[in-house]
């Protein structure tokens, strides 16, 4: 099983699954997501997507998402 988890295919499927889940959760929580925000979300790692999935439980508006993404970008810079 660990050999399977190390394959590129598995990693891509895991990423797509996590991305789709987070996008659906965000849309339900704060409404539609602009193309600009979608691009930023698509650049996140699987770990960051998981963290966003937890953080979005506290979001009340798109401003919360923007602030979270900006904080993430500042940490990377």
User: Which pTM does this prediction carry?
Assistant: 0.85
pLDDT at residue 2 greater than cutoff 70: yes
Note whether 53 and 26 are within 8 A (CB). no
What does the pLDDT look like over 7-64, one tens digit per residue? 988 889 999 999 999 999 999 999 999 999 999 999 999 999 999 999 999 999 999 9
* Exposure string for 30-67, b = 16+ CB within 10 A, e = fewer: beeeeeebeebbeebeeebbeebeebbeebeebeebee
> Given pLDDT bands bounded at 50, 70 and 90, which one contains residue 72?
confident
Rg of the Cα trace of the chain? 13
Predicted pLDDT at 56: 96
């Amino acid at each position: 099983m660990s050999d399977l988890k190390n394959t590129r295919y598995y990693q891509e499927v895991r990423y797509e699954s996590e991305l789709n889940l987070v996008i659906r959760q965000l849309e339900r929580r704060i409404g539609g997501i602009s193309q600009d925000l979608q691009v930023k979300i698509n650049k996140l790692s699987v770990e960051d997507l998981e963290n966003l999935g937890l953080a979005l439980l506290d979001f009340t508006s798109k401003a919360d998402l923007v602030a979270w993404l900006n904080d993430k970008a500042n940490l990377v810079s």
